[in-house]
Structure 1
Amino acid sequence: MNPGSRMPESSAPADHGTAPTPGDPTSADPGTVVERTVLGEADIARALTRIAHEIVERNKGAADLLLLGIPTRGVQLAHRLAERLTQIEPSFSGEYGTLDVTMYRDDLRRQPTRAVGQTVLPGSLDGTIDDKVVVLVDDVLFSGRTIRAALDALNDLGRPRVVRLAALVDRGHRELPIRADHVGKNLPTSRRERVRVRLSDVDGGADAVVISAAPAGPATTDGGVR
């Protein structure tokens, strides 16, 4: 091109100072869910270790302690906590159970097709939780309605001495007067955001907690999303 000649406008170079960058939420296509990781595998491991120590300290040992995981990911978290408790307190049996709350939920009329799970107590309990220190374990504490259902389910199993709650993530927005005794991460969120817990035991891949803005349209009902 001769000096002084002008480049045709159609071939002018783009303004790189304003071009969207990969991974920038503003460059995502409409409807694309952009996720960011708030807890990685090491973070989750540290949080569970801390919760296990808090449980032992609060209980002054492991006497009469019973972990009950709320499906799905709460069960895997209860398993991991039980492993840590046996390392901290050799007297702990390592037993944990599963508490299905499906038939105690207050949204069955809106979602009547929920699959019913199974409540499984350690064999040494003979089917009762009387006088036990029960720690409910869940992945994400949100409205509190799942925990309310869990408390109703416990009433059919017996009369525990104390009921406490351990949650990996507390994202706020409570609709009932329920709080967690042990929390791995307090995560302020908006109601339009979704929090997903991914565990290698259930989802494959590395453990992670990710947060994303919900796409336009009906709310997602994928497992592990609150």
Structure 2
Amino acid sequence: MNIKKKIMEEKDIKRTLMRLSHEITEKHKGVENVILAGIKTRGAFIAERIKENLIKIENFEVPVIKLDVTPFRDDEKKSDTDTSEFNINVNNKIVILVDDVLFTGRTIRAAMDAIISRGRPSQIELLVLVDRGHREFPIKANFIGKNLPTSKDNEAVEVKMAEIDEYPEEGVYIYDNV
């Protein structure tokens, strides 16, 4: 895969995550009833960054779940091993799923199954850094950093983050997928 274009710089990601953090507090009039569920791998790191922003905005530490959805997938990426870091009661809480890129919706469907298997939240919402379209399930994000229409088969979108990627620069990249 060849890099086609860098869509977001590190500063753009930081600014976008702060905006999304403010949107959460505005929608829920605070964050006392909110749990962030970051989908491993990059979604978990984004959830941690959102948590830090919410501490600055609301002076309240929102719990974060690091969610492994592979046991709940319906495709070739399925695994029987669940490495979730999940010791939080989700009953009657607002659980916000956090992921880097929303594409077909299959990962989010698996994430909802993972949450529901452990309790009954009052709501499940979705926050994504990038929404690239091409859904295979009727799933829509509540909080979107950037809408980025792409070619379904000829392009790929990747988020590179300092916490996990050995990459020259943090950012959101579009690649040719041919």
Larger Rg: 1
- The alignment yields a C-alpha RMSD, in angstroms, of 1.5
State the Cα distance separating 1:120 from its structure 2 match. 1.5
Structure 1 gaps of 5+ residues are: 1-31, 216-226
Q: Distance in 2 between matches of 1:167 and 1:160?
A: 19
| Structure 1 position 176 matched with structure 2 position 103 | no
State the Cα distance separating 1:118 from its structure 2 match. 1.5
| Structure 1 position 193 matched with structure 2 position 155 | yes
Q: Distance in 2 between matches of 1:141 and 1:176?
A: 11
Match of 2:171 in 1: 208
Identity score, percent: 44
Q: 2:86 aligns with which of 101, 109, 121?
A: 121
Structure with higher strand content? 2
Aligned residues: 176
Q: 2:17 aligns with which of 48, 54, 60?
A: 48
Q: TM-score, normalised by structure 2?
A: 0.93
Q: Which moved more, 1:201-210 or 1:132-141?
A: 201-210
The residue matched to 1:146 in structure 2 has which SS?
Answer: helix
Structure 2 gaps of 5+ residues are: none
The residue matched to 1:203 in structure 2 has which SS?
Answer: coil
Q: Distance in 1 between matches of 2:57 and 2:2?
A: 40
One-letter amino acid of the counterpart of residue 116, structure 1: T
| Structure 1 position 102 matched with structure 2 position 70 | yes
State the Cα distance separating 1:206 from its structure 2 match. 2.7
The residue matched to 2:164 in structure 1 has which SS?
Answer: helix
State the Cα distance separating 1:73 from its structure 2 match. 0.2
Match of 2:56 in 1: 87
Query: Where do residues 22-101 of structure 1 align in structure 2 (5 Å cutoff)?
Result: 33-90=2-59, 92-101=60-69
Q: Rate the CA distance shift 1:115–1:210 in 2: closer, same or farther, 3 A.
A: farther
| CA deviation map 1:141-179 (0-9, x unaligned) | 000011001111111110001111000000000111000
Q: Distance in 2 between matches of 1:87 and 1:111?
A: 37
| Structure 1 position 137 matched with structure 2 position 98 | yes
State the Cα distance separating 1:117 from its structure 2 match. 4.1
The residue matched to 1:189 in structure 2 has which SS?
Answer: coil
State the Cα distance separating 1:65 from its structure 2 match. 0.9
One-letter amino acid of the counterpart of residue 181, structure 1: N
The residue matched to 2:5 in structure 1 has which SS?
Answer: strand
| Structure 1 position 155 matched with structure 2 position 120 | no
Q: TM-score, normalised by structure 1?
A: 0.74
